Amino acid sequence: MSKNYYVLSNGRLQRESNGLSVINATGMKRAIPVEDVESLYIYGEVDINTKLLNFLSQKRITLHVFNYYGFYSGSYYPREYLNSGYLLVKQVEAYQDSSQRLHLCREFVRGAAHSIVRNISYYSNRKGTGAQTDESDTPRGEVTPITEPEASPYHPVSEEAEAAVDSGLQLAKLDEGGDSDPLACIVDMFPEELPGLEQLRNTIEAIVPLIDTQQDVNNLRGIEGKIRERYYQSWAHILAEDWVFTRRVRRPPDNEVNALISFGNSMLYTVCLAEIYRTQLSPTISYLHEPGTRRFSLALDLSEVFKPIIVDRVIFKLINTGQLRPDHFDKSLDGCYLAEDGRKLFLSALEEKLASTIKHRRLGRHVSYRHLIRLECYKLVRSLTGIESYRAFRAWW
């Protein structure tokens, strides 16, 4: 099975005979069998040439480049080999059709909200039973499912949350002109400092029904932002006490947790891009995120659904098991970034998560987290070509 290779040191990456080799600054060489490579990730200052790029194109290997701080800079994307003019037209038509685009956007936000609620419920249940919140009792390569009826993806909400839903829906129905905020009533139902995981979960569950009432993509993005705002507040209850995280700060990250989120999200973006490349989808045409220049925005759409159950759970595990320490971060420059040892640790844990498997309910066989993203691409293809309506992935464990 192909896997990702990460080059963290300075040196040279080159074609050698019918394979690849990495030569570091001291002259030490490591051979890489090309049949074993899914994607290459470059973090150091690495020399390459057109001979290598031609070889990567021939072998359909994507190369992702990251800057000094570990943030994504760009990708070398081989010539598409699964071209479909028909599907490209269908992708554009779906973007231009407001009802079809809204459906896809709503599903991306619903899928993200479901994953977020699952995370909060998971850690709320573990805290309630006195268990450690590090997933250490989950068998490697296997995910222990939470027993819950399939028809009920969300836990029952409290009376306060139900009242917030009713009020929010009523206000949303009156909001035809878009001048009022359909979320204001929900946020104001609770104190500014929300006390615990249960109430935070209830707040998010109260916001979720408003997804169906929105007729504008910008408003949907606003709802998604409100959900994530409440979700990040829950991290104070999930993370070990000596790790401080009060709000999301991106450019630059201001503390260790923000550095982990930024680094992990960049990585997941490239994973989604690699899986899109294995299908006939065009990564430049997206729906929740506006298509733009110099980015593959469909990867951003897909990554929203999987961030909580892949990136965030890796962060929780590394912190709560004590594997990550303050000395794994670099604060010598403006902001806070993962140092090389921290990157190695995070990348190893992320690869382990992507390779771990679950038993797929519909397929009846075990699939990896990475393959779940590929399956999501196939579902999107089926929706765009009119075979079945798209329903974003919902975790059942």
Buried b vs exposed e over 314-344: b needs ≥16 C-beta within 10 Å? Answer: bbbbbbbeeebeeebbbeeeebbbbbeebbe
Tokens of 49: 């040439």
User: Looking at residues 253-260, what average pLDDT do you find?
Assistant: 91
pLDDT digits (tens, 9 = 90+) for 157-205: 344 443 433 333 333 333 333 444 545 444 444 445 545 888 899 999 9
Percent of the chain at pLDDT > 70 equals 81
**Which is nearest to 395 in space by CA: 336, 313, 319, 320?**
313
- Going from the C-alpha of 75 to that of each of 39, 204, 274, 302, 324, the distances in angstroms are 10, 35, 10, 18, 28
| Best CATH choice for the domain 85-384 from the list 1.10.3470.10, 3.90.1150.10, 3.40.640.10, 1.20.120.920 | 1.20.120.920
- What is the predicted pLDDT for the residue at 76? 85
pLDDT range class, residue 127, cuts 50, 70, 90: low
Predicted confidence band of residue 351 (pLDDT cuts 50, 70, 90): very high
The model's confidence at residue 271, banded by pLDDT at 50, 70 and 90, is very high
Please state the pTM of the whole predicted model: 0.79
For the chain, which residues make up each domain, given as ranges?
3-76, 85-384
Contact 70, 57 (CB under 8 A): no
Cite the DSSP H helix spans in the chain: 50-59, 85-96, 98-129, 159-174, 184-188, 197-207, 217-238, 256-277, 297-306, 313-320, 340-355, 369-384
Pick the CATH number of 3-76 from 3.40.50.2300, 3.40.190.10, 3.100.10.20, 3.40.1350.10: 3.100.10.20
Span 92-98, average pLDDT: 96
